[in-house]
């Protein structure tokens, strides 16, 4: 009977030690990164879905702004064609391409909204105002989703680089790579130049 207790006691102690040592942190945090990435994708998709309605509304009032409208349509096409699978999260080149395409769409939408300022009838149109409000709300949701994703990536990548996560990564999860995170281009960090001349 005594010999039976020792193996059971050892098994119990080993289970207790392993359950509290972070052996499951890496897959748990990886799933958190994937969930946060899904929310980023969801918000970018929402923005892409609003673009055609926005284009049609603006077209009715500002048909002569074809260049700007075409830029938005092309930027949307590129942004929606980018592969957004979870594998992109550990591929720096694919992630950079995704980020570049989304930034291009954001820039094109910004130019479109700037053009709208020249059309008072469009600025007061109910459909346009509703779409503009939805787009602004979506941009805010994108910012929140990106922030949540960045936090999830920080937690996951930190686990891969610190002990005991580093040990578990080497022993059991060596196929899991650090996740990519969003970056801000130098142009976006520059202070805007104000000129009243």
**What digits encode the pLDDT tens for the residues 128-173?**
888 889 999 999 999 999 999 999 999 999 999 998 889 889 988 9
Task: For residue 41, count CB atoms less than 10 angstroms from its CB and return exposed for 0-12, middle for 13-18, buried for 19 or more.
Answer: middle
pLDDT in tens, 76-108: 998 888 777 778 888 889 888 999 999 999 999
Per the prediction, the chain carries an average pLDDT of 83
pTM score, two decimals? 0.76
- Between CA 192 and CA 182 the distance in angstroms is 22
The pLDDT of residue 197: 47
Q: How far is CA 17 from CA 14, 21, 23, in A?
A: 5, 6, 10
Non-local (6+) Cβ contacts of 148 within 8 A are 36, 39
**How sure is the predictor about 113, in pLDDT bands with cuts at 50, 70 and 90?**
confident
| Residue 54 predicted with pLDDT over 80 | yes
The mean per-residue pLDDT over the stretch 21-44 comes to: 91
């Amino acid at each position: 009977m005594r010999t039976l207790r020792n193996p059971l006691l050892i098994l119990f102690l080993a289970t207790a030690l392993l359950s509290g040592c972070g052996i499951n942190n890496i897959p748990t945090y990886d799933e958190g990164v994937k969930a946060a990435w899904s929310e980023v994708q969801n918000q970018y998709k929402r923005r892409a879905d609003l673009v055609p309605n926005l284009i049609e509304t603006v077209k009715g009032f500002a048909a002569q702004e074809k260049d700007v409208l075409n830029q938005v349509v092309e930027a949307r096409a590129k942004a929606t064609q980018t592969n957004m699978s979870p594998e992109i999260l550990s591929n720096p080149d694919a992630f950079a391409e995704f980020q570049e395409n989304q930034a291009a769409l954001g820039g094109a939408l910004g130019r479109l909204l700037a053009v709208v300022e020249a059309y008072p009838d469009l600025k007061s149109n109910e459909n346009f105002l509703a779409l503009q409000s939805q787009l602004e709300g979506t941009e805010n949701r994108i910012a929140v989703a990106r922030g949540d994703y960045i936090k999830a990536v920080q937690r996951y990548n930190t686990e891969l680089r610190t002990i005991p996560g580093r040990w578990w990564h080497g022993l059991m999860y060596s196929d899991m790579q650090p996740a990519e995170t969003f970056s801000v281009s130098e142009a976006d960090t520059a202070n805007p130049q104000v000129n009243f001349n």
